[in-house]
Structure 1
Amino acid sequence: MRVALLVNPAARAGAHTGAATNAAERLRAHGLQTSILSGGSAAESSELLRAAIEAGVDAVAVAGGDGTVNLALQELAGTGIPLGIVPAGTGNDFAATLGLRELDVAAAADAIAGGVTRSIDLARVTRDDGSTRFFGSVLASGFDSKVNDRANAMRWPRGGSRYNIAILVEFLTLAGIPYDIAYEGADGTRGEVHGDLVMATVGNGRTYGGGIPIAPDADPSDGLLDLVLVRPAGRLRLLRLLPKVYRGTHAIVPEVSITRVRSVRLASPGVTAYADGDPIGALPLTIDMVPGALTIFTP
């Protein structure tokens, strides 16, 4: 089996570790022909991966975090070429949803060499200009996208703790944001939400921000998205909500609603959405599900 192992040296964290080299050595020890692809930018990395796929690789592996995995999703969606993940990034939320987050390099490489795969869904974002992009874990807009803005600009600390700090800082200027939302529910019925929200989040996976279970019951194999809406409340009340968010028990709070949907359109002026930890576009955006779009290696 020929494997293309993607690592992005422009990633914010984890890309300069020895994860890729160690994974490649482990894969080769299993008899797999493994080539490391490392572009100087996200665009160059995508080009290298696209060329490898066109040349006929049998599998793709990524040594990195959600941002680098997201690059691979764009090229692999719908191809049937399996993806292996060596978690080596800041958040690794997509890997967490798939049960791979805690794997070390050797175990992740062994899962690829083992050859066991399964199919999962991907969420597809359509912008107003008609362009599209896939994501695997969570799309965030509103308060949580502002947290992403702040966390991504922070040089210290590394890891998931910077998201915690960013959350607390953003609370100082917390305010409701006007939204217009239209969705198709799991049973095909249509629904709309209009008015101020703190945030509107769409989950294919369960966690974001390095393990925060914002959509605790999301299943990337059920053909549905989890739409999580948080309505304004007093700042102190929302601050008290945070421990429930970290435990994944926030669905019981009156200001929170979680709805299973087939598709959803989010509109709000001046709001940029993030997906898999990176900016994906300004609202309005339409998000729908592509069932079974990705094949992944699993232990």
Structure 2
Amino acid sequence: MEPTTRGQRWSARGALAAAAAAVLVLGVFAGLRTFALLAVGLAGLAVTAAALWWVLTRRSVGRLLAAVLAVAAPVWIVVAYTRAHLAWVVAVAGALSMFAVGAGRRALVGADGPARTPEHPAPRVRHPVLIMNPRSGGGKVERFGLREKAEALGAQVLLLEGPGDTDVAELARKAASEGADLLGVAGGDGTQALVADVAASLDLPFLVVPAGTRNHFALDLGLDREDPAKALDALTDGVLLRVDLGRAAGHPFVNNVSFGAYAEVVQSPAYRDGKTRTTLELLPDLLVGHRGARLAARAGEADFEAPQALLVSNNPYGTGDIAGLGRRPRLDGGELGVVGVDVASAAQAAGLLRGRRATGLTRVTAREVVVDADRERIPVGVDGEALNLTVPVRCEARPGALRVLVPRERPGTRSPLPRLDWSRIARLALPSARGHARPTAARPAEPGA
């Protein structure tokens, strides 16, 4: 554990002060009505969560009515507070609470040691080869001039053009056999995983250019997803990161593997052309009708029985949202993150407000995950790519298998905000008796000492 800094102590004290002030504002200006305010707020949030569940599990008129309810519930909360002439009290208490949460998380950053993946000196690269998909991300390769900048830096660029699909992995192996000492990809996460697997097997450094649609892997590496061209700065001023690589039934993945409801949606031919529309059309049958394979999984010592959806990720996602699918603080932990979802009713959907303690979510970590089903083959989404795999599907982590070359300066290298722990915040804020004990007088030295 790193020593506590002055900034952490003051952030912790600010968090406790703001939290106390929020409670004081409610107590002084709302009095006994504080409990009614909390009840109204919690009821409104529960109704909103249930309405969103109905939006996902209903069609036609039922879905429309649920959407209206999802909007009406928050409006009802605001109206109730306003009619009680307490809207300003709630606003002030809410602002203080938000400040308390932010200050508390800042106080905890670094309390458990550095969260960044260690950086190593970059190898000298003489013949980098970058594979670029001009169609990826709506044409980012052309829009950001990625080919021109890469060639100006001495890289060879291979464009994925022409009719039909290209065997990207074979293209990467051919480039390596012809002398490439670095392999890179400007494209989506699925393409990156294929080339990353070749680079890892040949112990070549790998370069990521976030030219896809979502670029989750690039996000967790700290790259600038708004300007993909900045990733090419790694060729002139870069550092090396050793990160893990996942495999599912022999298929590499840099982000995650999905089973169940989401994997079923990805399989639809209409998904590529209309992701939102297709998802809303298929989810009612998948979530309520239990269409699809009945899954069972073993992750370390944990068992998952018939989850509606299962997500296995290359290192666990953070804990900042309900499902914990925001971003991964580390990519070199040597383990898989596993999230199981089992939400079968509106009550369980409302229970998701409990976050990590929600009954509909199960989260564990493991080095290996085995997924079985009541069918011989099941749909699986590997980094968003639709596959059908024979069960059991074995997912494993390959610790430190991939050497990634990234720019020395990149926007996402700040430490992620940790989950709130008020007991730790209090220990940081309040001086211990031992640490601030009155100094005792020094004893005279013994003769001859």
- Measured against the shorter chain, the TM-score band is 0.7 to 0.9
* Structure 1 partner of 2:266: 148
Displacement of 1:58: 1.6
Residue 214 of structure 2: SS of its match in structure 1? coil
The verdict on how the C-alpha distance between 1:15 and 1:48 changes in structure 2, with shifts beyond 3 A counting, is farther
Displacement of 1:264: 0.8
Which of residues 321, 335, 338 in structure 2 aligns to 1:227? 338
Give identity over the alignment, percent.
Answer: 25
* Structure 2 partner of 1:169: 281
The verdict on how the C-alpha distance between 1:294 and 1:35 changes in structure 2, with shifts beyond 3 A counting, is same
- State yes or no: 1:137 paired with 2:247: no
More strand by share: 1
Q: What per-residue deviation string (whole Å, max 9, x for no partner) do you get for residues 132-153 of structure 1?
A: 1211101000011123224863
Normalising by structure 1, what TM-score? 0.78
- The one-letter amino acid of 1:277's match is G
Question: What is the correspondence of 1:172-251 to structure 2 with a 5 Å cutoff?
Answer: 172-173=284-285, 174-175=287-288, 176=290, 178-184=294-300, 190-193=301-304, 195-204=305-314, 214=325, 216-217=327-328, 219-234=330-345, 237-238=348-349, 241=352, 250-251=355-356
The verdict on how the C-alpha distance between 1:22 and 1:146 changes in structure 2, with shifts beyond 3 A counting, is same
Question: What is the correspondence of 1:1-299 to structure 2 with a 5 Å cutoff?
Answer: 1-8=126-133, 13-14=136-137, 16-19=139-142, 22-30=145-153, 32-38=154-160, 40=162, 41-100=164-223, 102-126=225-249, 132-150=250-268, 153-156=271-274, 162=275, 164-173=276-285, 174-175=287-288, 176=290, 178-184=294-300, 190-193=301-304, 195-204=305-314, 214=325, 216-217=327-328, 219-234=330-345, 237-238=348-349, 241=352, 250-268=355-373, 269=375, 271-282=378-389, 283-299=391-407
Q: Provide the C-alpha distance between the structure 1 equivalents of 2:270 and 2:330, rounded to a whole number of angstroms.
A: 27
Q: State how many pairs are aligned.
A: 270
Gaps of 5+ in 1: 127-131, 157-161, 185-189
Normalising by structure 2, what TM-score? 0.54
Give the structure with higher Rg (CA): 2
Residue 233 of structure 1: SS of its match in structure 2? coil
- Taking only aligned residues, the RMSD between alpha carbons, in angstroms, comes to 3.0
- The one-letter amino acid of 1:52's match is A
Gaps of 5+ in 2: 1-125, 318-322, 408-449
C-alpha contact (below 8 Å) 1:121/1:291 kept by paired residues? yes
Q: Provide the C-alpha distance between the structure 2 equivalents of 1:27 and 1:33, rounded to a whole number of angstroms.
A: 5
Displacement of 1:86: 1.6
Displacement of 1:260: 0.7
Displacement of 1:169: 2.9
Q: Provide the C-alpha distance between the structure 1 equivalents of 2:253 and 2:242, rounded to a whole number of angstroms.
A: 15
More helix by share: 2
Displacement of 1:219: 3.2
Residue 332 of structure 2: SS of its match in structure 1? coil
Displacement of 1:5: 1.3
The verdict on how the C-alpha distance between 1:109 and 1:103 changes in structure 2, with shifts beyond 3 A counting, is farther
Q: Provide the C-alpha distance between the structure 2 equivalents of 1:254 and 1:151, rounded to a whole number of angstroms.
A: 33
The verdict on how the C-alpha distance between 1:144 and 1:239 changes in structure 2, with shifts beyond 3 A counting, is farther
